[in-house]
Amino acid sequence: MDREQIKTLVDEIKDSIMCINCGDNYVNYKCMGCNSFGQELNDKVKGLKNKISNIEKDTIKFDVSMARIYSLNILGDTELNSIFHGVDYDKTIENAYNSLMNKVENNVPFVDSDYESLEYFTFDYCNDEEKSFIYDYIIKETLVKNKQFPYDFFENSIKDFTRLKSLPFDKRPRVSIVDYFDIKNRNALVLGNEIQIKKQIVQNMYNGSIEGFETIFHEITHLEQKYRENNYYTSYDDMLAIKEKVLKSSEDDFYEKNHNILSFENEARFYGKLNSIKYLESIGLKVFRKEEILNEAQKELVKKDSETRIFRNREEDINESLDFLLIEEPKYLDKFPKLNLEYIEDDYGVRRKTVDEFVNDYESFDFSPMDPVQIDRVNEYYEKTIAKENNKIKGVTK
């Protein structure tokens, strides 16, 4: 077995260290998120251990291309020494890292052997700040100089860049590059805790296009929306997005009929444009259509004023559509628990709360364990909701 075979096996293990079910990391082959067992990871590590057991000592040199074996902590000292003997692993890696970062900081052209080192350090060695510095360098050099880096390396960098920019989250998402989507005109998608990006988008970025960054930050916004829904007290706007998702679950073509005015898509389009510009400017690049893009983003905010949606071929206030749907299908109260903030199910069925009930909920709300951000979200939710209910009583539509 030669060094390339070892490297291939270790790379396969690296690609299997995240849970296929929820995207969290395996520790001792058990997922930290969903507690499932990493059978595929376990099998690959066993395969590697079996294959290296017959390797003679000192037959393969330890360098950065082999460092992933050490950093992944998949082999013990005895197994490592069956491949490499008498090596100061930490010192070898530190020297290689300092040499590489000197090139990055001084913009020294890379040679072929540097790409393997750069891949190792960005994916296995560096902290978040160091990774960000390196990814900024890779992206800027690619956009300015066009194809300085091998495409596969650039693609992997974009995947990890997307994961890194998805902070702050307790669990970073999986990111995968796919050849196509079944949905027409789809460039990227969030599925659970995974962001999928169409390969053509990354290839266009590799060829100098900046539009892919808007796609990435668009999907990151959708991931943030899911995080808020699962971890924060709801705001007024987030509750509106939940209501849209309820109607979307009930009617197959609801999304298509309302795509241009859905609040969660408006937010994603706004921050996709805004954050892509912020990022590109932060690494010293000029965005030539900046004002046009910002004007397009601003239009997405204006759309938030309307809460009228098309449902069952009727154009009406989203609460009216939801009122009728929940009477017919109260199961959505269980599927979307935050709806219980606005609806009550009793012996007579499901009904929307009255103004007095909303006011009572607000006045009796316990703010004591909450941080300022959460308190602001609660205040905004109840103040806007109560105001809208009062306006409805008065016959005011907005």
DSSP states of 168-199 as a string? Answer: S-SSPPEEEEES--SSTT--EEEETTEEEEEH
Say if residue 107's pLDDT is above 90: no
- Is residue 386 very low, low, confident or very high in pLDDT (cuts 50, 70, 90)? very high
The predicted structure's pLDDT at residue 169:
56
* 314 beta partners: 311
Q: Both tokens of residue 71?
A: 């950093």
Say if residue 133's pLDDT is above 80: yes
- pTM reported for the whole predicted model: 0.82
> What's the CA gap between 19 and 174, in Å, rounded?
9
Q: Which of 32-36, 189-193, 308-312, 322-326 has the lowest mean pLDDT?
A: 32-36
CA triplet 78, 82, 88: central angle to 5 degrees? 75
Q: In what order do the strands lie in the sheet with 174-178?
A: 174-178, 194-198, 188-191
The predicted structure's pLDDT at residue 328:
94
- Is residue 303 very low, low, confident or very high in pLDDT (cuts 50, 70, 90)? confident
**Structural contact between residues 353 and 381, judged by C-beta atoms closer than 8 angstroms:** no
More reliable by pLDDT, 106 or 265: 265
Is the preceding omega at residue 330 within 30 degrees of 0, hence cis?
no
Q: Both tokens of residue 322?
A: 């939801």
Please, what is the angle between helix 128-145 and helix 199-206, to 10°? 70
Q: Which of 105-109, 144-148, 161-165 has the lowest mean pLDDT?
A: 144-148
Condensed to tens digits (0 to 9), the pLDDT of residues 306-329 reads 899 999 999 999 999 999 999 999
Biggest distance spanned by C-alpha atoms of the chain: 86
Provide, rounded to the nearest whole percent, the portion of the chain with pLDDT above 90.
42
Provide, rounded to the nearest whole percent, the portion of the chain with pLDDT above 70.
90
Closest Cα to residue 200, out of 158, 160, 149? 158
- Is residue 8 very low, low, confident or very high in pLDDT (cuts 50, 70, 90)? confident
Q: Which of 67-71, 153-157, 218-222, 315-319 has the lowest mean pLDDT?
A: 67-71
Condensed to tens digits (0 to 9), the pLDDT of residues 207-246 reads 988 899 999 999 999 999 988 888 888 899 999 999 999 9
The predicted structure's pLDDT at residue 150:
84
The predicted structure's pLDDT at residue 398:
55
Average pLDDT over residues 335-339: 94
**Residue 239 φ/ψ, nearest 5 degrees:** -65, -40
Handedness of CA 28, 32, 35, 37 (dihedral sign): negative
Condensed to tens digits (0 to 9), the pLDDT of residues 243-274 reads 999 999 999 999 999 999 999 999 999 999 99
- Is residue 167 very low, low, confident or very high in pLDDT (cuts 50, 70, 90)? low
Q: Which of 56-60, 225-229, 295-299, 320-324 has the lowest mean pLDDT?
A: 56-60
> What's the CA gap between 332 and 177, in Å, rounded?
33
Tell me the residue type at 273.
K
The predicted structure's pLDDT at residue 258:
95
Half-sphere exposure in the Cβ direction for 105 (13 Å, CA): 7
Say if residue 74's pLDDT is above 90: no
Q: Both tokens of residue 372?
A: 């300022």
Condensed to tens digits (0 to 9), the pLDDT of residues 349-367 reads 999 999 999 999 999 999 9
* 18 beta partners: 25
Please tell me the total number of residues recorded for the chain in this structure: 398
Q: What is the DSSP string of 124-146?
A: II--HHHHHHHHHHHHHHHHHHS
The predicted structure's pLDDT at residue 174:
83
Q: Both tokens of residue 155?
A: 């693609």
Tell me the residue type at 169.
F
More reliable by pLDDT, 144 or 148: 144
Tell me the residue type at 380.
E
The predicted structure's pLDDT at residue 2:
62
Closest Cα to residue 189, out of 158, 228, 218, 155? 218
> What's the CA gap between 13 and 42, in Å, rounded?
9
